[in-house]
Amino acid sequence: MTDIPAVSKRTFNTTMNKSGNESLGYWEVTAIGIGGMVGGGIFAVLGLTVDLTHGGAPVAFLIAGIVALVTSYSYARLSVAFPSQGGTVAFLDRAFGPGLLTGSMNILLWISYIVMLSLYAYAFGSYGASLFPPASQVLWKHILITGSVVGITGLNLLSAKLIGEAEDWIVVIKLAILLFFVAVGIWGIDTTRLEPSTWAAPLNLVTGGMIIFLAYEGFELIANTAQDVRDAHKTLPRAYYSSVGFVILLYIFVAIVTVGTLPVARIVNARDYALAEAARPFLGQSGFLLIAIAAMLSTASAINATVYGAARLSYVIAKDGELPDTLERKVWGTPIEGLLITSGLTLLIANLVDLSNLSMMGSAGFLLIFAAVNAANVVLSNETRSKRWLSLIGVVLCLSALASLLWQTAMSKPAHLWILFIMVAVSFFIEITFRLVSKRTINLSKDHKQHTA
């Protein structure tokens, strides 16, 4: 799953095997949420956001953050009421039953993680290639994309612990570098570049926010730790809201410094590695190198965590009877078939699909899924003791945001819509085909059963 810090990987692994042996407090759970969001996304999509919104980039991040914050309410209430290793998968099964729609949405979640993984690999390759001469950057980008996925998959096959233990430090380092970037850069910004007259049209602001929505989706990782949280009914909501609120402020300030430091044309020209380019005016070439290395470190961590998490997700879905049972098999404690399929698809997508398409696919997929989770909390509001109207607002916000993203894409690059439609269609095709061919009974896993009975 997105950039999972080491504590959450250990927790995920624990809940897969012997839930309840770890006890997480407020700070640990909040760190999981922040680490999940502040991963490769901000490094990958900042330049794309500025390209769409110009001086209004901070507003776009705020809009996307509001959608995430409202959705975190549904996640918080569902996590407290139905703590489960399955997180999103378990919530949808609980609310709508293990039918065709739910199975297809769960597979869409897996595909969305593959898209996220492709985005991180693309960002790793782009930042790494920026360190080479311009004439060879395209070649190096593809070499680094391929090398990052193959190398980290190999490490996961040998032992996820080889790099998993370093991820706590990676989270701290990347946060420190981003905060340093903001603290130093804020003093030299040109505020005229942020005035409303420099903003793109309102629809573009919304679309810009939604195309980078994937930079926020990592807060849902908290749901996978719910069984291991102390005083969960208080800790989980506080952790969700604190982590999302902190990241909203961080992203807004990163966008302010970036747009206030560089002309939009320069940001767009370097949009694949915009954050590193934005550091150059006030930190020089050493600043460019610092951010580029931080981006590679962060996206490598995100690739590792997402490979690990997506393979585990395929295991959970297969265990519930919604994917072939071959994905339940483990080698050295790892669901190896899911790992290899995830990595193979990532290599194809990351090398063949461009950044804007990856962002649109990832954001649209998670907006659909988050709309479904908000709807699940509406259905289960009596059991979760929720304010139904707030989750209804979440449904409306997610679907409206998705509509604006699709409308803008249809107006500017209509051919790109086919990729999203194919992504959704493949989810339904896999589920329908699997049901027809295997005739396998849908079995809610033991963990699901005890929380959905």
* Domain residue limits at 366: 6-452
Q: Is residue 1 part of a domain?
A: no
The pTM (predicted TM-score) of the whole model is 0.82
Q: Is residue 223 part of a domain?
A: yes
Q: How many domains does the chain have?
A: 1
| Of 205, 146, 252, 121, residue with least CA distance to 401 | 205
Tokens of 254: 């990163």
Tokens of 218: 């990592």
Report helix angle 100-129 to 137-158, nearest 10: 120
- Rounded to an integer, what distance in angstroms lies between the CA atom of residue 232 and that of residue 224? 13
In DSSP terms, 334 is beta-bridged to 331
Tokens of 108: 């869409």
Q: Which of helix, strand or coil describes residue 334?
A: strand
pLDDT means over runs of 10, the chain (453 residues): 39 41 77 80 84 92 95 95 83 84 82 86 91 91 93 72 59 85 91 92 86 84 83 92 95 94 90 88 89 85 69 56 49 59 87 82 88 95 94 95 86 80 84 70 45 41
Tally of residues, the chain? 453
What pLDDT does residue 12 have? 41
- Which residue in the block uniquely carries the two structure tokens 């407020």? 26
Q: Which DSSP state fits 331? A: B
Tokens of 435: 């049901």
CB 356 within 8 A of CB 122: no
Q: Is residue 212 part of a domain?
A: yes
What pLDDT does residue 247 have? 93
Q: Is residue 243 part of a domain?
A: yes
- Rounded to an integer, what distance in angstroms lies between the CA atom of residue 428 and that of residue 99? 11
- Rounded to an integer, what distance in angstroms lies between the CA atom of residue 3 and that of residue 303? 7
Task: Kindly provide the residue ranges of all beta strands, DSSP E only, lying in 225-317, ordered along the sequence.
Answer: none
Q: Is residue 311 part of a domain?
A: yes
What pLDDT does residue 319 have? 54
Q: Is residue 385 part of a domain?
A: yes
Task: Kindly tell me the number of DSSP H helices and DSSP E strands found in the chain.
Answer: 19, 0
Taken in order 342, 345, 351, 352, the sign of the CA dihedral is negative
| Of 363, 375, 374, 370, residue with least CA distance to 406 | 363
CATH number of the domain enclosing 313: 1.20.1740.10
Q: What is the dihedral of CA 262, 265, 266, 270, to 10 degrees?
A: 130
CB 61 within 8 A of CB 267: no
- Which residue in the block uniquely carries the two structure tokens 């490490």? 155
CB 255 within 8 A of CB 59: no
Q: Which of helix, strand or coil describes residue 153?
A: helix
